């Protein structure tokens, strides 16, 4: 009888802990109900939708808590998405590299198909997802990969890689490439910290690597 009581107590304790502990998948900053938006948030939401053609989503959901930050982030993203001196293929490849470094699944999901549509080979995207250096890359892809990977992992870029990047993309192109890395680092940081939810029905593809 005492054993049964102890087991019951342990089961109850485990159940209470499971209920009390926050879920790791819980979205810490979910969409704000329309009736709870401040005037500044309403204006920022409208400006975002007008400029992008869709409602606030993804990293911009938590960013809406600071409307000015959200709109300034949107403006930088607008340049990097459509006016960068890099090709869309390279832009999207660098985004995937950044998403992989942060194990940021929303970012990866949002850009993998865009990368393939822009001409990035599926084998390259798959290698990035698995944490390997892709084989058979074009020269511009190699230079972009090395530049992005070095700054993300080593926090600097070697003289050799920098010289190749400038020769291939020019100084503006190098800044645009680093801008993509920095911008999508920022979005990944926001989403990882606030646990931004994946779109409904979409499974996470990336897994964390062992430390």
Residues in the chain: 211
Q: Which residue has the higher pLDDT, 210 or 4?
A: 210
pTM attached to this predicted model:
0.86
pLDDT: which is higher, 145 or 17 = 145
φ/ψ of 64, rounded to 5, equals: -60, -20
pLDDT of residue 25: 65
| pLDDT given at position 123 | 98
- What tens digit of pLDDT does each residue of 154-190 get? 999 999 999 999 999 999 999 999 999 999 999 999 9
| Token pair listed for 113 | 């198909």
For residue range 15-67, what is the model confidence (pLDDT) as tens digits?
Answer: 333 333 334 569 999 999 999 999 999 999 999 999 999 999 999 999 999 99
pLDDT at 109 (0 to 100): 97
| pLDDT mean over 180-201 | 97
In this predicted model, which residue has the larger pLDDT, 82 or 209?
Answer: 82
Between CA 64 and CA 207 the distance in angstroms is 28
Of 81-85, 156-160, 164-168, 206-210, the range with the lowest mean pLDDT is 206-210
Per-residue HEC secondary structure of the chain comes to: CHHHHHHHHHHHHHHHHHHHCCCCCCCCCCCCCHHHCCHHHHHHHHHHHHHHCCCCCCCHHHHCCCHHHHHHHHHHHHHHHHCCCCCHHHHHHHHHHHHHHHCCHHHHHHHHHHHHHCCCCHHHHHHHHHCCCCCCCCHHHHHHHHHHHHHHHCCCCCHHHHHHHHHHHHHHHHHHHHHHHHHHHHHHHHHHHHCCCCCCCCCCCCCCCCC
| Residue 51: other Cβ atoms inside 10 A | 13
The answer to whether residues 152 and 98 touch, using CB atoms and an 8 Å cutoff, is yes
Residue percentage of the chain with pLDDT more than 90: 84
Is residue 5 scored above 50 in pLDDT? no
Distance CA 203, CA 197 (A): 11
What was the pLDDT predicted at 211?
63
Nearest to 199 by CA among 109, 104, 102: 109
**Distance (Å, whole) CA 106 – CA 138:** 27
Question: CB 57: neighbour CB atoms within 10 A?
Answer: 15
pLDDT, averaged across the chain: 90
Q: 14-28, 37-51, 68-82, 89-103 — which is least confidently predicted?
A: 14-28
What's the pLDDT at 13?
38
- Please compute the mean of the pLDDT values over residues 82-99 and round it to a whole number: 97
The whole-number pLDDT of residue 169 equals: 98
């Amino acid at each position: 009888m005492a054993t049964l009581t102890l087991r019951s107590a342990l089961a109850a304790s485990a159940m209470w802990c499971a209920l009390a502990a926050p879920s790791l998948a819980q979205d810490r900053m979910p969409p704000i109900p329309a009736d709870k938006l401040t005037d500044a948030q309403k204006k920022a939401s409208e400006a975002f939708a007008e400029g992008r053609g869709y409602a606030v989503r993804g990293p911009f959901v938590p960013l809406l808590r600071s409307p000015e930050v959200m709109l300034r982030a949107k403006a930088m993203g607008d340049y990097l998405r459509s006016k960068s001196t890099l090709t869309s293929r390279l832009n999207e490849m660098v985004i995937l590299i950044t998403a992989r470094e942060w194990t940021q699944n929303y970012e990866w999901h949002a850009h993998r198909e865009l990368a393939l549509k822009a001409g990035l080979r599926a084998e390259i995207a798959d290698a990035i997802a698995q944490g390997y250096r892709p084989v058979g890359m074009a020269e511009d892809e190699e230079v972009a990969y090395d530049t992005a990977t070095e700054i993300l992992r080593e926090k600097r870029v070697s003289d050799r890689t920098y010289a190749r990047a400038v020769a291939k993309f020019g100084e503006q192109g190098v800044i645009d490439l680093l801008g993509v890395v920095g911008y999508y680092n920022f979005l990944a940081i926001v989403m990882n910290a606030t646990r931004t939810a994946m779109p409904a029905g979409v499974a996470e593809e990336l897994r964390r690597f062992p430390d």
